[in-house]
Amino acid sequence: MKTVMKKEKLHYTKNDYQTEPFLDFSNPENVQKVRDAISYVESNLSKEYPLFIGGKEFYSDKKIKSINPAEYSQVVGIFQDATIEQAEMAVEAAEKAFKTWSKLDVYQRAHIFFRAANILRQRKYEAIAWMILEVGKNYAEADADVAETIDYLEYYAQQMINIHENPQRLLRFPGERNYYHYLPLGVVVVIPPWNFPLAIAAGMSIAAMIAGNTVILKPSYDACFMSYFFYSIMKEAGLPDGVLNFLSGRGSVVGDFLVKHPKVRMIAFTGSKDVGINIYKEAANVSPGQKHLKRVIAEMGGKNAIIVDNIKNEEFLEYAAESVLISAFGYQGQKCSACSRLLLHKNIYDKFMSIFLEKVKRIEIGLPKENKFMGPVINKSAQEKIMEYIEIGKKQNKLVYGGNKLFEDKGYYIEPTIFENVKPEDTIAQEEIFGPVLAVMEFEDFDYAIEIANSTQYGLTGAVFSEDRYNIQKAVNEFHCGNLYINRKCTGAIVGVHPFGGFNMSGTDAKAGGPDYLLYFLQGRSVSEKLDF
């Protein structure tokens, strides 16, 4: 779509930052703009896209097809399956670019990211449309992903300016001048997931680059186009060649190679626990010629619980049921923050489930481009894995809703699925499923509910719905998760408002969109000068 750029408004002070507003899809004009963008995108499917290494295009013999999971006969785009040689070239290009990019004035770097935010605002509907087709998000979910990306561009640029303008204060010492400042690390490998294909891919890359590092972005197989789209935005904004290198390819080939490479200083990863643990382990090994210990930040999912206490207010109970529905089945349960365990106080159990099931029955399932609430899961492999868990649930627990595939001749759809009579130690209450499957448990004592909530190896998000201030405070003190939400859904973190990242096997505690996130991409340096001789 042709971009008509408005006059740039570039932010330079901390107080200027504001979160990007979401589109109002009750407004028919906004709906029509998305539909028009989808028509444009559908007229541009199945094109081939190169790798970008040092600003130059490269192709490989093997290809990757990005498939629309809602209509798997539709090829979104064709991408290169990069080779080891091309991955080596990317490292060399990033290392070369680091020598100049790392020395560029902070304000000049920030200017590029502010400009990119404005470009993305102008191309918002196009970005939404591509995302709807590539990963099966509905309009609101895709819009939130794009808005989050705009927030990262501006928030991290602001944060880097703040770090530059507000150096750490050190204690005075007689006869010396002492100061403390930050330096970038070097080459950073960014390995994002497909479920937030623009926001997470861009967020990790932006943090690395604004801090003065250079990046090799290796996208998920299922979301290559959205990473390519981010690359094109940054290129249009004036990012120098080699600062961001787009390298589509297999994780088992180029991903492993990059993680082990002696010139790579850091790996920023979001994805499955098993892959994250392996990256963490491999990065700890020192390769021949390596002069540093690598840093790793890894966000690895969750088994998130919502506790609904003994609520007396019927309107509040209705609100809690709607919040659980959105948390569990928004984007087909394919968010690391999604609710997969529901803990209900025994006094409200039957009433809540009656309200909740009526709401679930009204969920519309179908094509994301038609803006149905639920669309497909990401691919055939994911669908099969989720169905395996559903079969386990059928054997161990009581299926009260769903449990079936839908529209098998078109895409990878699964009904919202709910199990009761679930014990805390059961498979579907312990293992991350990453799909629309909810395990429901009953409790009488709030202490026991907290114990259940903390009983998995994860600790990403959680929520508590309660009218009891004592129980709310107990949750604040004892519910062990990186993002705890009181009387609201457990999904939908906003940059600068809800810094996001988890405990235990949910990750390395780095809080994306928070005030200290950039420090993971920097190294502190103390300089001391003696004044008296």
| Catalytic annotation, residues | 299, 336
Buried b / exposed e across 296-330, counting CB within 10 Å, b at 16+? bbbbbbbbbbbbbbbbeeeeebebbbebbbbbbbb
Beta strands in 28-98 (DSSP E): 47-48, 51-53, 56-58, 63-67, 75-80
Nearest alpha carbon to residue 131 among 259, 266, 23, 37 = 37
State both tokens at 333.
């349960």
Buried b / exposed e across 439-455, counting CB within 10 Å, b at 16+? bbbbbeebeebbebbbe
Nearest alpha carbon to residue 94 among 239, 214, 5 = 214
The number of beta carbons lying within 10 Å of the beta carbon of residue 240 is 17
The number of beta carbons lying within 10 Å of the beta carbon of residue 430 is 16
**Type of residue at 68:** N
Q: In whole angstroms, what is the distance from residue 438 CA to residue 429 CA?
A: 9
Nearest alpha carbon to residue 181 among 156, 164, 197 = 164
Contacts of 313 (CB under 8 A, 6+ apart): 467
Contacts of 82 (CB under 8 A, 6+ apart): 51, 58, 60, 90, 247, 248, 249, 253, 254
Got the DSSP string for 106-164?
A: HHHHHHHHHHHHHHHHHTHHHHHHHHHHHH---HHHHHHHHHHHHHHHHHHHHHHHHHH
Contacts of 365 (CB under 8 A, 6+ apart): 372, 373, 374, 375, 406, 413, 415
SS (H, E, C) 335-390: CCCCEEEEEEECCCHHHHHHHHHHHHHCCCECCHHHCCCECCCCCHHHHHHHHHHH
Residue 133 CA to its chain's centroid (Å): 18
State both tokens at 41.
């995108």
End-to-end CA distance of the chain: 67
Q: In whole angstroms, what is the distance from residue 459 CA to residue 479 CA?
A: 9
Q: In whole angstroms, what is the distance from residue 273 CA to residue 294 CA?
A: 19
Q: In whole angstroms, what is the distance from residue 433 CA to residue 392 CA?
A: 12
